[in-house]
Structures are given as structure tokens and as C-alpha cells.
Amino acid sequence: MFAGKTEELLRRVERARIARKTVLLFKPEIDVRYSATEVVTHNGRRLPCRLLPVSLDLSGFKEHLSPEELASVEVFAFDEAHFFGASFPEICEDLVAQGKRVIVAGLDLNFRAEPFGPIPVLLALADEVVKLTAVCTVCGAPATRTQRLVGGKPALAGPEVLLGGLEIYEPRCREHFVAPR
């Protein structure tokens, strides 16, 4: 978290729009931290989006689009993709097979530093991968881990998904990340 993934996603969406491409932006319906109808960065930048159920499969995804949209939209962008289910890579692959550009932002690791949701499969299938890093709040080094906090201390257990921001998560480097047992 806090590496600028959503900021980069919105930057790419804006560039596609400047190039006069038709774009649809999506996020999982469970992500209502800043807005239920927009993708919002931690810095407050925002763009309208559509919500998708996290357990969506390919046929369910197509039900969220009109046939005209599916035919005319050139760029499909997805934020917080780590929340989507195992069928999400199939959705992306289907869109790419139709000649669509697909842009995905998401965490590759959960708070336990384990592969998160469908992201490992997407990384393997992607034509391009950009891995952004945050800044470790302990030492300032590149942070590749997300430390969940409980009472200001590293969480040693808990559910994989717990929505929040700086109040319960902070970026950490490998050296300062405390792994749950």
C-alpha cells in the first residue's frame, strides 16, 4: 500500500482519454473507503467508476456491460484487483483476446507477505508489469510489504481482507516487516 498504484492507474486512464480512447474504470464493490462511486487515491485524486462483485466470473462480468459497451470500449481499467476472485484473470484474458487494453492495479502480497488473490496469475499472464514500491515508515528504504497494525503494533493474526488506510496499515521494507506467525 501507499506505493502510488491507484495514482498510476488513474494517470494511465487519463492518458488513454487524452488519446481519445473509450475507457471504463472499475473497482470491487467492497472498496468503499473513500467513495462508493469513484476510484480515489490516498491523495484525493478521483475518477468515476463502476462497481463489480468480487466473486465475478466472465459471464457475470459481461452482464455488467451492454453489448454496445463491450464492442466500443477500448480500455478497461481495474483498481484493487487483489480483492477479485480466481476468475478475474479469465476476464482480463478474454478482454485482451478481443483486442482491448486492460490496465490492472493491485497488491501482490497480503499483510502476511503471501501472494494476494488473483494477482500472481495476472503477473504471470501480463504483457507488462510495473511494480511500484512505497517508502518504509521505519527507515525510508523501498517498501515492498504492507504491515497491518493493531494498537500501533504489528498484527500477528487476522482475516486476509480488512479495509483501511494509514490508520491500520503502513509500508515496510523486508528488514522492518514483522511477519505474522
Matching fold, domains 5-125 and 134-172: no
What does the pLDDT read at residue 167? 75
Give dist(CA 42, CA 135) in Å, integer. Answer: 14
List the grid coordinates of 48: 468515476
Q: Compute the C-alpha angle 40/71/59, nearest 5°.
A: 75
Cα(160)–Cα(117) distance, integer angstroms: 10
CB-based burial label for 56 (10 Å; 0-12, 13-18, 19+): buried
Domain ranges of the chain: 5-125, 134-172
Burial 82-100 (b: 16+ CB within 10 A, else e): bbbeebbbebbeebeeeee
pLDDT tens, N- to C-terminus, the chain (181 residues): 788 999 999 999 999 999 999 999 999 999 887 888 999 888 889 899 999 999 989 999 999 999 999 999 999 999 999 999 999 999 999 999 999 999 999 999 999 999 999 999 999 999 999 999 999 999 999 999 999 999 889 998 887 887 777 678 999 999 999 998 7
Give domain 134-172's CATH number out of 1.10.287.3510, 3.40.50.150, 3.30.70.1520, 3.30.60.20.
3.30.60.20
* Active site annotation includes 80: yes
Rounded to a whole number of angstroms, the CA Rg of the chain reads: 17
The pLDDT of residue 35: 86
Which pLDDT score is estimated for 129? Answer: 96
Assigned CATH class of 5-125: alpha beta
Return the half-sphere exposure (C-beta side, CA atoms, 13 A cut-off) of residue 168: 11
- pLDDT of the residue at 147: 94
Q: Which member of 29, 68, 69, 80 is catalytic? A: 80
DSSP characters for 78-91?
Answer: ESSGGGS-TTHHHH
Cβ within 8 Å of residue 93, ≥6 positions away: 125
User: Which is it for strands 145-150 and 142-143: parallel, antiparallel or unpaired?
Assistant: unpaired
